[in-house]
Structure 1
Amino acid sequence: MNLFEKYLEEGKLRKRARDLGISIGEYPTGPLNSITDVKGVRVGHSTLIEGSGRRKPGNGPVRTGVTIIQPNEDPYNQKVVAGGFVLNGAGEVSGMTQVMEWGLIETPIALTNTLSVGRVSDCVVKWMADKHPSIQNNVEVIIPVVGECDDSFLNDAVGLHIKPNHVFSALDSASEGLPLEGSVGAGTGMICCDFKAGIGTSSRTVKVGDHQYTVGVLVLSNFGVMEHLRVDGYPLGEIFAKGLGGYSRRINNYGSIITVIATDMPLVANQINRLCKRAALGIGRVGSYGAHSSGEIIIGFSTTNSVPRNSQRSLIQMSMILDTFLDGAYKAVIEATEESILNSLTMAVEMEGVNGNRVPALNLKSVKDLMESYSKVKMAINGGLK
């Protein structure tokens, strides 16, 4: 069994937060509790795990990958209405300047490590040009949306190990099922609150008037320190920090998080901007304070409202929910963001990377036991107040 297969098998034994009895918030989840509960949204991964020992730039060890989020079947010809928000900008989502200017996304959204943004962007251009003659013939240009986090604590990032076939594989494999979480794709080498993390996803359903809508979130989580970790409001990180030794931690690197929001709510661009702002509250609930060196970048889109690339009409119609009816969506995106981060933690496996750096996985039994203890205390307090 090679390293990739080893980590894959270990990942099958991990559990999502809800499987541990952790239910965040009040809104129900979608059927998969995933961003792919939003109809048409697809997710694909390409995971690279090779080598061990001392870092040899260009030779590894390799702990990295690519994750793709497809907003719809063809965002190039049916651009989705989009927006975003930057809580702290020590990070990058290429293409976001155009997203904020136009309020539209016209490419897949890619996630990867910091030093591979350019290469992944090049590959998305090549992949789309092969599918769309207007790009191939220099009639149209595109700026791919590519977000990053730094995985260099575990990965030989400067070795630029992501190749075109890895990006194409993630693009071609994107599907509507429940995506893999934890140490996969872009999340392979990521760390959250000094525990192994990576990719996590969650969703909520919200009723507005007579209509039921879905808000889905996917995160690439790579931020924070152990002492700040909170699970459903409880300070589990402080407890773990007192008893967990034998591991080296990142120093002078607070990390980052990229959050992707999808919804089938009919929203216009500024409403999506406002939705993205609320996701930052979900990040804060897990333990981020938006440090000087961190990047909390959030991008979102609506699958209901789209703009055709080629139309003979000068006027198109869109629907939108009145702002006064959006409070439920705001609460839902906070919940889904918080749970996505927790899923990235509970689904990730312990990993050793460059120079023997070893990052522990959350001990699921300890998490479950501690949450049950807190629940009993809460019930006792509530009973005493009656």
Structure 2
Amino acid sequence: MQNPRRVRDLGVVVGTLPTGPLNAITDVPGVLVGQTTITGDGLNTGVTAIVPEGYAGTLPAAVAVGNGYGKLIGTTQVDELGVIETPILLTGTLSTFRVADALLSWLLERNPTATSLNPIVGETNDGYLSDIRRRPITPDHVYAALDTASSDLPAEGCVGAGTGTGALGFKAGIGTASRTLPAGTVGAIVQANFSGLLTVLGNPIPAQPIDADGNSCMIVVATDLPLDSRQLGRLARRAIFAMGRVGSDFAPGSGDYAIAFTTSRTPTYQDHDLRTPFQAVTESVEEALLNSLTMAQTTTGYENRTVRAVPHDLISRGPQQAPSRLP
């Protein structure tokens, strides 16, 4: 079995902008990530929590929808007010509502006077490798992800909300990356679970298709650039565009969403200066999606179904040596 490696360690460098120290969403000051992973007994699922410091005072944010075939709790209020007021959690489709309820309980315990809160919870369908109907996520799993959130490099691949996901014909999961700009940092974390033909720096890497109905992608973009919610919406749309760079076919059953937020509450950025932030988002999401694949491991799960990890030599050797089908 090959060891998980980030795509940059395989010699694949996405874009031209410099990364942050960790090349992760946690390079954005004040952004924490925690995860809970559930495996065994037909289960491959979990929770990934993105916890920005200062969320309780609201942070500017926006949501972009590539295809709305999914469950993203809390979006209408984000659209209406242009802010988030809670952490952002990711999980498996049928556990979305249990995760939202547990997040609400966690928040109420920390705010005894609150009478209205808008939890943000997204999902992709991990039902190919996990017994999704069991809805195994409990409040303890949610609390553990939130309470252990840190500024360290988040685990990638088969962890948290990405434990049971697959993308582009291979096992996938959680991936993250970042870019630094003179004025701040842009970072992304993804939960990859969509169809298409894996493409690395414009080169196709063919694979056998995964016979699964769950095809979606959740993208969370964080920054400390002083942007308003409208500008963050423009960043979120570019995040979804980046899926096409790695080969997404944007299938009809794919719920493709991006949430972008900033830890800055004083928007001063001008629209004509957004070109480099757009590039930073596109590069971060593209690399995060590739990391979600190269950091994943072959997984056998529910009903003995198996999804194989992408062989690293297919990526590091170059597409001219890639077979038309996996052996």
Q: TM-score range by the shorter chain?
A: over 0.9
Offset of residue 289 of structure 1: 3.0
Offset of residue 175 of structure 1: 0.3
Contact 1:82/1:302, CA 8 A, preserved across alignment: yes
1:229 aligns with 2:177: no
1:192-229 C-alpha deviation (Å, 9 max, x unpaired): 0121101000001123xxxx31110000000013xx11
1:299 & 1:362 partners in 2: Cα distance? 27
Contact 1:38/1:216, CA 8 A, preserved across alignment: yes
Alignment of 1:157-176 (within 5 A): 157-176=132-151
Alignment of 1:244-255 (within 5 A): 249-251=210-212, 253=213, 255=215
1:368 & 1:288 partners in 2: Cα distance? 20
Match of 2:21 in 1: 31
Match of 1:200 in 2: 175
Match of 1:113 in 2: 92
2:36 & 2:126 partners in 1: Cα distance? 15
1:319 & 1:370 partners in 2: Cα distance? 43
Q: Secondary structure at the match of 1:177?
A: coil
Match of 1:336 in 2: 284
2:140 & 2:214 partners in 1: Cα distance? 31
CA RMSD of aligned residues (A): 1.6
1:154 aligns with 2:129: yes
Aligned partner of 1:88: which letter? N
1:262 aligns with 2:210: no
Which aligned segments of 4 or more residues in structure 1 are displaced greater than 4 angstroms?
Answer: 371-374
Given the alignment, which residue of 288, 306, 327 partners 1:358?
Answer: 306
Match of 1:64 in 2: 45
Alignment of 1:370-381 (within 5 A): 370=318
Residues 337-346 or 287-296, more deviating:
287-296
1:94 & 1:299 partners in 2: Cα distance? 12
Offset of residue 254 of structure 1: 5.6
Offset of residue 93 of structure 1: 1.1
1:92 & 1:282 partners in 2: Cα distance? 21
Contact 1:254/1:291, CA 8 A, preserved across alignment: no
Offset of residue 249 of structure 1: 2.4
1:320 & 1:298 partners in 2: Cα distance? 23
TM-score by length of 2: 0.95
Given the alignment, which residue of 297, 316, 320 partners 2:257?
Answer: 297
1:319 & 1:273 partners in 2: Cα distance? 14
Contact 1:205/1:213, CA 8 A, preserved across alignment: yes
Match of 2:325 in 1: none
Contact 2:44/2:163, CA 8 A, preserved across alignment: yes
Structure with more of its chain in helix, by fraction: 1
Match of 1:98 in 2: 77
Q: Secondary structure at the match of 1:130?
A: helix
Offset of residue 371 of structure 1: 5.8
Offset of residue 365 of structure 1: 2.4
2:210 & 2:12 partners in 1: Cα distance? 27
1:349-377 C-alpha deviation (Å, 9 max, x unpaired): 00001111100001112321126979xxx
Offset of residue 160 of structure 1: 1.1
1:278-315 C-alpha deviation (Å, 9 max, x unpaired): 1122111111132211111010101111xxxxxxxxxx
Contact 1:194/1:250, CA 8 A, preserved across alignment: no
2:96 & 2:267 partners in 1: Cα distance? 35
Aligned partner of 2:24: which letter? S
Q: Which residues of structure 2 form unaligned runs of 5+?
A: 323-327
Q: Secondary structure at the match of 1:218?
A: strand
* Bigger Rg, structure 1 or 2: 1
TM-score by length of 1: 0.81
2:314 & 2:275 partners in 1: Cα distance? 35
Offset of residue 319 of structure 1: 3.1
Q: Secondary structure at the match of 1:292?
A: coil
1:309-363 C-alpha deviation (Å, 9 max, x unpaired): xxxxxxxxx2321000010011110111100000000000000011111000011
Given the alignment, which residue of 173, 180, 191 partners 1:220?
Answer: 191
Given the alignment, which residue of 45, 49, 55 partners 1:75?
Answer: 55
Q: Secondary structure at the match of 2:29?
A: coil
1:372 & 1:319 partners in 2: Cα distance? 47
Q: Percent identity?
A: 43
Taking structure 1 as reference, are residues 28 and 221 closer, same or farther at Cα in structure 2, changes over 3 Å only?
A: same
1:130 aligns with 2:76: no
Contact 2:170/2:210, CA 8 A, preserved across alignment: no
1:19 & 1:354 partners in 2: Cα distance? 31
